[in-house]
Amino acid sequence: MFSKEMNNTFTSKNFVKINLDWSLIQSELKSKLGSEVYESWIRKINLTEEFNNYILLSVPTRFIRDWITSRYLDQILQTIKKHKKEIIRIEFKISDNNEKNIQKSTNFSQKEIIKNVSFLQDSYLQYNRIDPNKRFENFLLGSSNKIAFEASTKVSENFSHYNPLYIYGGVGLGKTHLLNSIGHEMNKNKKVMFISAERFMYQFVKSIKSNDMVKFKEYFRNTDVLIIDDIQFMNGKEAMQEEFFHTFNALLDKGSQIIVSADRPPNKLSRIQERIKSRFSGGLVVEIQKPEYDLRKKIINHKIDELISLYSDKINISEEIQNFISSKINSNVRELIGAINRVISFSRIYNKLPSLAETKIILKDLLNINENNVTIDLIQTIVCRFFKISKNEMLSSRRSRYLVRPRQTAIYLTKILTTKSLPEIGREFSNRDHTTIIHSVKTIEKLKEKDSNMCENISKLKNLILYNKGNEV
């Protein structure tokens, strides 16, 4: 019974029906504000709750909230109003990872529905649009992406040499960038069709419904170059795969070039027919790997140069911070670029460069914080050090005021930063009863609302705990 009560405290208890299609609003904002702004800021916003005349959005950090509020709030509100004119105000909350996880598990089905409905509309914007900003010339090279780059340039010069070309790799590594570059290059003298797999499916289903299959076939079979992004999303029914397979063969027969991207190699595609997979494997299959340190540095330098020429003022991000970012953000080019954008935005708002500690806060959600590193022992140690008490004192049964608050704070932080159950937490705090644990958590929650000092201490402690050890430079 108690644990049920606890759950309520931590989930958004009054989850209200969401009618707005947030993904649709985000894609509208993407086309309005451009993909750079979208990637750095808008993508981070989640719709948390919808009320009669206002909505609650959540963002991962205070910094992102301030930046968005000062720059894009009007446009966001305008866009939302187009869908629901009653909305007159937007409120923000700072989500921490913990809350996000809980929400994910409780509202899974609702989120899933929203996602599935919106990706069709989402991809509509990508439909056969070649982004002129993603070209071979601004694709930076390193050992992790060189092979994919070379295969792509060869394909755009040496028509139909490697056919199909299959590029795979994790998110944010540059697949779409390369596909775009190929499209951009070949579009000069060939008929190019650039489409996401989702859009292909959508188009297919729509054509069946409107009895337009003939047109659909003609449309696709008439192109010289067919580029399909994110083929792993092709999960349609047999009939659709059948059509895809025939389109594919027809194009290969007439010598059209096919280029495909995916997040995994052909043999790992789960819902795709064997014969299609084997067609993919029959061409040239290349991988883009995670960017290595040198490439990360190169991308950072390039991005800084680009921003310097964009804004006339001099932006000088210290070597220390550049090194910090290149060593910590190592899985993904998209996040790397996002990180630089944020650091630069910070220096422009506050008119100073962020310190290393500030950089950690600005990039909190991008840094690899492994919550498994957070142990009860670590939390106790950090909280004791912060309040200048000993661990024995914290774990004792003494109820002096100067011990009670730190103890409750440590219990609260354990509850929100680990996945430990109440009895487990109780055991680690000298076998305290789980009702005591609940009481501590509730006390701190209440205090946080009233007492700004407490709020600040909690946030400092959270940072100390999350960025300790493995995350320390």
Contact footprint for ligand ADP (CB under 6 A): 134, 138-140, 145, 169, 171-177, 299, 333-334, 337
- Residue 138's contacts (CB-CB under 8 Å, 6 or more residues apart) are none
Residue 389 interacts with, from ligand ADP, Mg ion, none (CB under 5-8 Å by kind): none
Residue 334 interacts with, from ligand ADP, Mg ion, none (CB under 5-8 Å by kind): ligand ADP
Taking CB under 5 A as the criterion, the residue among 176, 203, 345, 440 binding Mg ion is: 176
Shortest distance (Å) from residue 219 CB to Mg ion: 23
Closest to ligand ADP by CB, 144 vs 440, is 144
Residue 23 binds Mg ion, judged by CB under 5 A: no
Closest CA to 183 of 125, 413, 60, 175: 175
Cα angle 210-211-217, degrees, rounded to a multiple of 5: 110
Neighbour count for residue 58 (Cβ, 10 Å): 21
User: Taking the mean position of all CA atoms in its chain, how far away is CA 149?
Assistant: 24
Closest to ligand ADP by CB, 172 vs 236, is 172
The structure tokens listed for 377 are 């022992």
Closest to ligand ADP by CB, 39 vs 393, is 39
Shortest distance (Å) from residue 223 CB to ligand ADP: 21
Residue 123 binds Mg ion, judged by CB under 5 A: no
Contacts of 459-462 with CB under 8 Å at 24 or more apart are 460/386, 461/382, 461/383, 461/386, 461/409, 461/413, 462/96, 462/413, 462/417
Cis peptide bond upstream of 164, omega within 30: yes
Side-chain-side CA neighbours of residue 325 (13 Å): 34
Shortest distance (Å) from residue 169 CB to ligand ADP: 6
Residue 177 interacts with, from Mg ion, ligand ADP, none (CB under 5-8 Å by kind): ligand ADP
Pairing of strands 46-50, 54-59: antiparallel
Place of tokens 């960025």: 467
Shortest distance (Å) from residue 247 CB to ligand ADP: 23
Residue 181 binds Mg ion, judged by CB under 5 A: no
Say if residues 48 and 93 touch (Cβ distance below 8 Å): yes
Contacts of 137-142 with CB under 8 Å at 24 or more apart are 139/174, 139/177, 139/178, 139/181, 140/295, 140/298, 140/299, 140/302, 141/295, 142/291, 142/292, 142/294, 142/295, 142/298
Say if residues 469 and 372 touch (Cβ distance below 8 Å): no
Shortest distance (Å) from residue 288 CB to ligand ADP: 7
Distances, alpha carbon 409 to alpha carbons 434, 445, 446, in Å: 15, 10, 12
What gap in Å lies between CA 170 and CA 172, rounded to an integer? 7
Closest to Mg ion by CB, 120 vs 208, is 120
Q: What x-and-dash track marks residues 365-394 binding Mg ion by CB under 5 A? A: ------------------------------
Phi, psi of 152 (to 5 degrees): -65, -45
Shortest distance (Å) from residue 445 CB to ligand ADP: 39
Residue 90 interacts with, from ligand ADP, Mg ion, none (CB under 5-8 Å by kind): none
Rg (Cα) of the chain, in Å, rounded?
Answer: 26
Q: Which residue is nearest to ligand ADP (CB)?
A: 174
Closest to ligand ADP by CB, 292 vs 445, is 292
Residue 316 interacts with, from ligand ADP, Mg ion, none (CB under 5-8 Å by kind): none
Residue 266 interacts with, from Mg ion, ligand ADP, none (CB under 5-8 Å by kind): none
Closest to ligand ADP by CB, 241 vs 261, is 261
Residue 174 interacts with, from Mg ion, ligand ADP, none (CB under 5-8 Å by kind): ligand ADP
Shortest distance (Å) from residue 408 CB to ligand ADP: 44
Residues 409-438 that bind Mg ion (CB under 5 A): none
Q: Which residue is nearest to Mg ion (CB)?
A: 176
Q: What x-and-dash track marks residues 133-172 binding Mg ion by CB under 5 A? A: ----------------------------------------
Which residues contact Mg ion (rule: CB under 5 A)? Answer: 176
